[in-house]
Amino acid sequence: MIKAEYCRAMARYNAWQNSGLRDAMAALPENDLTADRGAFFGSILGTANHLLWGDTMWMSRFADWEPPTKAGRDSTAYHPDPASWSQARKEADERIVFWADALSDADLEGELTWYSGSAGKTLNKAKAVCVAQFFNHQTHHRGQIHKMLTEIGYRPIDTDFFLMP
């Protein structure tokens, strides 16, 4: 389904996009970041927190990361303020790139079994499907954040994969 090289490219893309998101969030007043904008996870910061929470949860399944200490229902409050979120996001992106750089195609074979709190049951899926979900989840929620930023007049960086430096 996917290869290790895809994971390396997506990890770099993720880090690039999140760098732009960190810049955007640093340029805006906190009330713009925390205002409920009607998105599924409420605010820009809430959605960014959920995304980082999800990345951390998936990486606890793929690698030797500690899972988040907050439950999924509390993912929007994963980090209390934009500065702590930004630092944690930067560190997570560096670790994700490191993980992806070490992957081999064989690492993506086989099954992954885990308990999903959101599904309320133990799941078993192909590792490659789970890794594809991991990267898709990032892109999906950054798209929501991109929309919220655009609505308040901020112009985020381009999101086209082919424009990645």
Per-residue pLDDT of the chain (165 residues; tens, 9 = 90+): 899 999 999 999 999 999 999 999 999 999 999 999 999 999 999 999 999 999 999 999 999 999 999 999 999 999 999 999 999 999 999 999 999 999 999 999 999 999 998 899 999 999 999 999 999 999 999 999 999 999 999 999 999 999 999
136-141, Cβ contacts within 8 angstroms, sequence gap of 24 or more: 137/51, 137/54, 137/55, 137/58, 138/10, 138/14, 138/17, 138/51, 138/54, 138/55, 141/41, 141/47, 141/48, 141/50, 141/51, 141/54
d(CA 93, CA 26): 17
pLDDT at 118: 86
pLDDT at 156: 94
pLDDT at 96: 98
* Token pair 């995304």: residue: 51
pLDDT at 67: 96
Q: What is the CB-side half-sphere exposure of residue 95 using CA atoms within 13 A?
A: 17
